[in-house]
Amino acid sequence: MRRESRFPADRRESGRNGIEREIPLDLVGVGAVLAATFLSLSLGAGSFVRVVASVVTLCVLPGYVTVALLFPHVGGEGTSRGSGSKTRISLRERGALSFGLSVALVPLVALLGSAAGWLSQGFTARGTFALIGAYVAVVGLLAAYRRLRLPVAERFFLPIGAWTSELLDGVSTGSRAERALTIGLVCSILLAIGAFGFAAATPVQGETYTDFHLLTTDESGEYVSSGYPDSLTRGESTELSWGIRSYEAEPVDYTVVATLERVVETDGSLTRTETAELYRANATLAPGDHEIVDHEIAPPLVGEDLRIAYYLYRGDAPETPSEETAYRHLRVWVDVGVNA
């Protein structure tokens, strides 16, 4: 038996031909999602809203606004002027193209932005989202302009009113079993979205780490992981550089300590007999950040096969650092002499 909707046909039709055609609500929604994405990134919160907005921004919006620009007409088959090409697509085709084009456009836009020098800090999250967001905003405005130039009856629109009517019909009319099935389906979709957002927002601790490296500068002024000094003079300053690249899941406060150590070999292991602290500094890095710090050291000890050791700690460092307590450590062997 055919079930009649409690919403009159003329009311549903007026909703579809009213504000939904006068104002491109779908493109307004694109702007809202874009604003929510940048707001969540600015606040730095790993929340459900941030994850969902970021995924939609990267996987849907670039392709959606591109399709909206290319196909401003209402769904259906039609022909362009003077040709027999297809100029109208269905909602299903529009959705598939939006996702497919997004997957293709995001890396292409990022590479073009990098080549143009717009990503001077590399492919960071904020830089990439800023570039994609600029593309979505510009193309979205062009799509809205092109659509609004069409006659009202020819403009594409999302049938939000019809969808709302169908949903209300599903939960308010029909048998108890049909209504329960509709409500259960809606709850299942919401639960699946929530589970995805929670899983995406929870960092995988096993994949986090910090890269700690010691650098020098070559003749061109570039940082290199070579050319370390092998002989120094007591009391004279020498410039070195240390670097940290964070792959942690959250911002971390680091402490770097450099020491000059005299060691002796006992039963196949090295034992420190004398230690002098050369340098101590702090740095705070967010996930994905890379910092290089130039500094000077002046060795106070004299001898052969002395060890310059760098110790990296998460948080504060102890008064006497060691390989056993440090998060990361580096070392360079040098001979230290006296002035002639």
Tell me which of 2-16, 144-158, 245-259, 318-332 is least confident: 2-16
Res. 335 pLDDT band, cuts 50 70 90: very high
Helix axes 125-148, 91-115, angle to 10 degrees: 130
- At 120 the three-state DSSP class reads coil
Strands (E) in the chain, as ranges, are 210-217, 223-224, 231-233, 238-246, 252-266, 269-285, 290-297, 303-314, 328-337
Structure tokens at 288: 């994905």
Res. 304 pLDDT band, cuts 50 70 90: very high
Report field, pTM of the whole predicted structure over 0.75: no
Most confident of 58-72, 147-161, 233-247: 233-247
- At 84 the three-state DSSP class reads coil
- According to DSSP, the β-strands at 231-233 and 328-337 are parallel
At 169, which amino acid appears? D
| 90: CB partners within 8 A, 6+ apart | 75, 76
**pLDDT computed for residue 162 by the predictor:** 61
pLDDT tens digits, one per residue of 270-299: 889 999 999 999 999 988 889 999 999 999
Structure tokens at 48: 């459900």
Q: Which of 145, 146, 301, 331 is nearest to 233 (CA)?
A: 301
Is residue 264 within 8 Å of 305, Cβ to Cβ? no
Structure tokens at 216: 């020098």
Residue 37 to residues 42, 62, 280: CA-CA distances in angstroms? 9, 14, 39
pLDDT tens digits, one per residue of 187-197: 776 676 556 55
H or E element, residue 202: none
Chain-centre distance of CA 104, in angstroms?
17
Q: DSSP secondary-structure letter at 17?
A: T
Report the first-to-last Cα separation within the chain, whole angstroms.
107
pLDDT tens digits, one per residue of 232-275: 999 899 999 999 999 887 899 999 999 999 999 888 788 899 99
Structure tokens at 234: 């007591």
- The structural domains of the chain, ordered by start, are 9-205 (no CATH), 207-337 (2.60.40.10)
Structure tokens at 179: 């209504």
